[in-house]
Amino acid sequence: MDKIDTGSTAWMIAATALVLLMTPGLAFFYGGMTRAKSVLNMMMMSFVSMITVTVLWVLFGHSLAFDAAGNETVNKFVGGLDAWGLQSLITTATSDEGGMPSLTFSAFQLTFAIITVALISGAIADRAKFGAWVVFGGLWATLVYFPVAHWVWGGGWLTELGIEDFAGGTVVHINAGAAALALALVLGKRKGWPKEPMRPHNLPYVLLGAALLWFGWFGFNAGSELAVDGTAALAFINTQIAAAVAAGAWLLVEKLRDGHATSLGAASGAVAGLVAITPACGFVDPWAAVLLGVLAGAACAYAVGLKYKFGYDDSLDVVGVHLVGGVIGAVALGFLARYPFLDGQEQGVLYGEHGWRQLGLQVLGPVVVGLYSFVVSYILGKVIDMTMGFRISEEDEVNGIDIAAHAESAYDLAPSHSGTASSISAPVSDIKKVEADA
Amino acid sequence: MKLITAIIKPFKLDDVKAALETFGVKGMTVSEASGFGRQKGHTEVYRGAEYKVDVVPKIRLEVLVEDEDAEEVIDVVVKAAQTGKIGDGKVWSTSVDTVVRVRTGETGAEAL
């Protein structure tokens, strides 16, 4: 193995764990926003992403995203297959002069793939067949995430063009946001939306989830430098600045518009700020992080209302927060990037001679990735819907998907009167299945 | 005998309970209830979307009293529960045919 930088490697292992924690954090963030009768399913959609994507990552995911071997033309669009099973990574190191074991890099990137898939699930709360979601998640990771990660980070055609995405504004947030919009359209509105109230059932969960996301995001952004240096420090502080400022901006919009600064607004604003700073965090000055926070917090606070205007049921606002926030960050990067630690980098409009060209690239990335993700997701969703069915029955939806999909309910608050579980007669496996009337 | 039923604001329960005890009422039943009157409920806002919550939390308080005490008990409850603002609640009485103390089998006024 090549030389290993122990400091960087130690940080990257910690950062990897931080990013993985974001997915359970997302489960709480999303779970709290659903109704009590479907919180488990919402959280399970995040948890099962960890399972599916991990398996695919080992088999061929890392390879498709980061393996540079193979035909040069093909390699512009998708990686090779030399790293299948991760076998070839065991004794190698990533980066030439003192890097980290390639397996550490692989694990770090795996956690990104996981949360990107999980993010999509927020658009289809309460109504997607669990099996259909698992199939979709696996196919989407294979056909969309792995190739797009290759385009932007793995040496693919967008890398060659010179597009910049420090920690995944385009690869993660725009990618997931566009897929979320496609799935919301394929599955249709929840029964009763938008007339029936579908209030979040547990805002403390939402705050807990947002807090875990915020915490994990330091690994997401500062870890994306893949080293311990000035850029990592810049990414770290910018992450904090944008999150806090955006949360404040969202609260201010709410106070002025609706009369109350809400807890859901604080949580949403923090996430919007984190999304927007993600592509730019290692490239811009702290004052620019403040500006990005203001922009993202205020714009996303308005963007979440789009679904009522256009009539698509993006249940938990994946489009309004991740797609819109991601686009803001990716494009603003074209204006604000100064690259304090990188010489010879094409700076943004504010600093560079050829800033407008870079800005053009920063617009092209979101458009291309957004369109690709939307189209493939829409087709995948439709195919799944026509074959195995993507949506649960109306009866199951009204009763709550938790019991239908998982034979569990989240809360047992009044067991003494409920009588719902009066006796345990035998293990489930011993009970003969009673055929329901067709 | 009369059954006095009062729907009151939850924060007024202690006042009403104390006033009824001072009056000499020996027992009561308290339950959590929800509903609305003319004021309807309240509005909650989630990510800018307004939700009307039309039933609000209330306390339902029930007291069994002898016929001659009924008017006065109603008065006591009204005075103790009143804030003067919308949503204070309602009190009404209904006639009761029979009351039996489960422990002893006593009936009528003795059972109160």
pLDDT in tens, A1-28: 678 999 999 999 999 999 999 999 999 9
**Confidence (pLDDT) at A352:** 79
Work out the average pLDDT over A132-138: 98
Per-residue pLDDT at B102: 94
Mean per-residue pLDDT over chain A, rounded: 93
| Residue A255 touches partner B, C-beta closer than 8 Å | no
pLDDT at residue A438, as a whole number:
45
Angle made by CA atoms B100, B102, B108, in degrees to the nearest 5: 20
| pLDDT tens digit sequence for B27-66 | 999 999 999 888 777 888 888 888 888 888 899 999 999 9
Q: How many CB pairs under 8 A join A and B?
A: 32
Give B-chain residues touching A257 at CB under 8 angstroms.
48
> Is A93 in a helix, a strand, or coil?
strand
All domains in chain B, ordered by first residue: 2-111 (3.30.70.120)
Q: How far is CA A57 from CA A53, A197, B16, B18, in A?
A: 6, 39, 66, 68
- Those residues with Cβ within 8 angstroms of residue A417's Cβ, 6 or more apart along the chain or in another chain: none
CA A368 to chain B, closest CA, distance in angstroms equals 29
Q: Which of A197, A199, A305 sits opposite B48 (nearest CB)?
A: A305
Please state the pTM of the whole predicted model.
Answer: 0.87
Asked if B47 lies within 8 A of A264 by C-beta distance, the reply is: yes
Cβ atoms of B35 and B58 within 8 Å: the answer is yes
Please give the pLDDT value at position A332: 96
* Residue A390 clears pLDDT 70, i.e. is over it: yes
Q: Higher model confidence: residue A208 or residue A431? A: A208
Residues B47, A257: C-beta atoms closer than 8 Å: no
Domain with CATH 1.10.3430.10 in chain A: 6-387
- Class of the A6-387 domain? mainly alpha
- What's residue A400's pLDDT? 93
Residue with the bigger pLDDT between B86 and A168: it is: A168
**pLDDT, mean over chain B:** 92
Which of A29, A195, A199 to mutate to test binding with chain B, by most B CBs within 10 Å of its CB? A199
* pLDDT tens per residue, range A260-282: 999 999 999 999 999 999 999 99
Show residues of chain B in contact with A259, CB under 8 Å.
45
Prediction ipTM score? 0.74
Residue B47 to residue A304, Cβ atoms within 8 A: yes
The C-alpha atoms of residue A362 and residue A329 are separated, in whole angstroms, by 9
Residues of A in contact with B32 (CB under 8 A): none
Residue A244: pLDDT band by 50, 70, 90 thresholds? Answer: very high
Q: Which of the two residues, A435 and B2, has the higher pLDDT score?
A: B2
| Virtual torsion, Cα A77, A82, A84, A86, nearest 10 deg | -110
Give tens-digit pLDDT for A64-91: 999 987 788 888 999 988 899 999 999 9
Judge whether residue A436 has pLDDT over 60.
Answer: no
Put simply, whether A345 touches B (Cβ < 8 Å) is no
Burial category of A127 from C-beta neighbours within 10 Å (exposed 0-12, middle 13-18, buried 19 and up): buried
Number of C-alpha atoms within 13 angstroms, CB side, residue A301?
Answer: 30
Amino acid at site A70: G
- Considering only CB atoms, A301 lies closest to which of B48, B52, B53, namely B48
Residues of chain B with C-beta less than 8 angstroms from the C-beta of A265: 47
Answer yes or no: do A258 and B45 touch at CB < 8 A.
Answer: yes
Residue B99's region, left for phi above 0, alpha for psi from -120 to 50, else beta, is: beta
Q: Token pair 């203001």 is at which residue?
A: A294
